[in-house]
Amino acid sequence: MRANKADRTMTRSLQAAPRDAWWRNGVVYQIYPRSFQDSDGDGIGDLPGIRRRLDYLADLGVDALWVSPFYPSPMADFGYDVADYYCDVDPRFGSLADFDALVAAVHARGMKLIVDFVPNHTSTQHPWFLESRSSRDDPKQDWYLWRDPAPDGGPPNNWLSNFGSPAWTFDAASGQYYCHLFLAAQPDLNWRHPEVRVALLEALRFWLRRGVDGFRLDVIYHVVKDVHFRDNPANPGFVEGMDPVHRLLPVYTADQPEVAQVLAEMRRVVDEFSDAASARVLVAETYLPIERLGAYYGADAAGNLLGAHLPFNFHLIGTPWNAASIDALVRAYEAALPAGAAPNWVLGNHDRSRVASRTGARSARLAAMLLLTLRGTPTMYYGDELGLEDVAIEPQDVQDPFEKNQPGLGLGRDPVRTPMPWSNAPHAGFTTGRPWLRLNDDWPGRNVLAQAADDRSILQLYRRLIALRRRHPALHRGEWLPLGVEGSTLAYAREHAGERLVVVLNFGSDNAEVLERQAPAGARILLSTLLDRRGELARGSHLRPFEGWILGLQ
């Protein structure tokens, strides 16, 4: 639905104060479509499969689904190498009709659908790139980043690909190199070219017209590179064994000032399609320091936020897992946000080790409570609600190009992309064929059906947390008030319109007393991560190892 001018004016004022926008207060759930549910027995998940599982997601209580790429692709990077104008569905995942049916079914359940958008690069098989490399005189030659060799015939500069090796590949036919910050099969687009911008923005409109509620913008902070193609400086903090891309500091390949203009243009497009009933949203993939995240909200001189609605905050993934570090992180993030900006938190995704493996299985429940009680939009990753851990993949079964390029460094992402275990049917109900990646070893017990039947499972904890978050404005829109760290416990309050809830989390492996300033007299346990007590007075009791509470103060 395309908003007219009057609507757009209304939209703008609405967006100036979107305190109750769905993307601000809701919970986002990421689906890696290859691994969620297969519907046709080829061992690869697909869009009709996702549709079949929507009731599960609605029961879980999530508000929005983000689906990783399903566009036509040779799958060199499993869909993050798009081969067709971003306007179709790869037959492995279904068809455009399946996509339309998915949008309708998501909306029928009151949920939203966010799709992935990959603006930095295409596949080498994309018609744009085929034209671009066909001749140095081709009108699309400049759509990608072509440069002459250095005087010694080598790459034009020292830039590195995020997947290892130089960011340049030589093309014998043209005698030039093209730039790729990821695989050689993923050439980078030239966002300084006006026609590239028009084409990509039009692709956004294509999906908006089909009803999507927003986009997750893949590696948006990389889309513009230094206009002079200067060498990146060496990273003094690099030590052998680290991901080789960290040999250099990405001074000229990431976070360039012009990225803000690109984001602002994308924002204008999604705002064209926002109306009073529902805003469309931009979620930006931003692996950046906390002090840089603020810029991606795009505040203008008057304080209007004209960039991404939610620049991803990935810092829970890398921060040491203890009360003091997390307290310091939340304070620093809260302090760095521009006025009116919506915070957000992420525990994991299809690129990073799963939270249950990073923090330890017993802490996975604590992590769930943290994610769902901090101030800001939480993004969950499929399977984390089951406490799924990283799954070791034998070398002969490796699928991820990152691991294939740089084996043995622990960079591969297959372990976090294994199929969703649904039941104890063959292959955990994921497929009737052979799954493209193996399942978790413990799937006969760790699956949706088994955990749904167990009152104290981590799945039930997620359901209860999401329900509580939805019921209490203090949790989904309240202020965050630190109550400090005491030994291994972290405490904070959430407060809105006179309602105050307190969260106390024990990161330690011993029992922990709860102090007066954390739990005033009369505070009662609304929810324990262990799901085995409720209604007890907090004072006089203690938290068990890795236990967390939400306390109500009456």
CB atoms within 10 A of CB 233: 12
CA dist 186 → 118, 174, 218, 274 (Å):
11, 18, 13, 32
267 to 286, contacts with ligand GLC by CB under 6 A? 285
Of the pair 161, 518, the CB lying nearest ligand GLC is at 161
Tokens found for residue 49: 């499969």
Please give the DSSP secondary-structure letter assigned to residue 410: S
Distance CA 550, CA 465 (A): 9
CB of 319 to ligand GLC, least distance (A): 19
| Burial status of residue 317 (CB atoms within 10 A of its CB: 0-12, 13-18, 19 or more) | middle
CB of 77 to ligand GLC, least distance (A): 5
> For ligand GLC, how many residues bind (rule: CB under 6 A)?
9
Q: Which are the catalytic amino acids?
A: 218, 272
Task: Give the DSSP H or E segment for 64.
Answer: strand 64-67
Of the pair 141, 286, the CB lying nearest ligand GLC is at 286
Distance CA 361, CA 406 (A): 28
| Burial status of residue 17 (CB atoms within 10 A of its CB: 0-12, 13-18, 19 or more) | exposed
Distance CA 129, CA 76 (A): 15
End-to-end CA distance of the chain: 46
Helical H runs in 341-417?
355-359, 364-373, 401-405
Contact 367, 505 (CB under 8 A): no
337 to 356, contacts with ligand GLC by CB under 6 A? 350-351
Please give the DSSP secondary-structure letter assigned to residue 58: H
Token pair 């993949």 is at which residue? Answer: 393
Phi, psi at 480, each rounded to 5°: -110, 120
Tokens found for residue 189: 């687009």
Dihedral through CA 510, CA 513, CA 517, CA 522, nearest 10? 130
Token pair 């059906």 is at which residue? Answer: 449
Of the pair 314, 549, the CB lying nearest ligand GLC is at 314
CB atoms within 10 A of CB 3: 16
181 to 220, contacts with ligand GLC by CB under 6 A? 182, 218-219
Distance CA 243, CA 161 (A): 11
CB of 161 to ligand GLC, least distance (A): 10
CB of 403 to ligand GLC, least distance (A): 12
Of the pair 129, 182, the CB lying nearest ligand GLC is at 182
219 to 248, contacts with ligand GLC by CB under 6 A? 219
CB of 234 to ligand GLC, least distance (A): 23
Distance CA 103, CA 26 (A): 18
User: Pick from 29, 80, 296, 546: which binds ligand GLC (CB under 6 A)?
Assistant: 80
Of the pair 182, 422, the CB lying nearest ligand GLC is at 182
CB atoms within 10 A of CB 410: 12
Tokens found for residue 245: 């891309």
125 to 184, contacts with ligand GLC by CB under 6 A? 182
Of the pair 62, 416, the CB lying nearest ligand GLC is at 416
Of the pair 189, 519, the CB lying nearest ligand GLC is at 189
Of the pair 80, 178, the CB lying nearest ligand GLC is at 80
CB of 296 to ligand GLC, least distance (A): 15
CB atoms within 10 A of CB 499: 14
String of contacts with ligand GLC for each residue 376-395, x by CB under 6 A: --------------------
Of the pair 68, 488, the CB lying nearest ligand GLC is at 68
User: Pick from 38, 46, 77, 389: which binds ligand GLC (CB under 6 A)?
Assistant: 77
Contact 122, 81 (CB under 8 A): yes
Taking CB atoms, the residue at the shortest distance from ligand GLC is 80
Distance CA 387, CA 347 (A): 12
Distance CA 356, CA 350 (A): 14
Applying CB under 6 A, the residues found at the interface with ligand GLC are 77, 80, 118, 182, 218-219, 285, 350-351
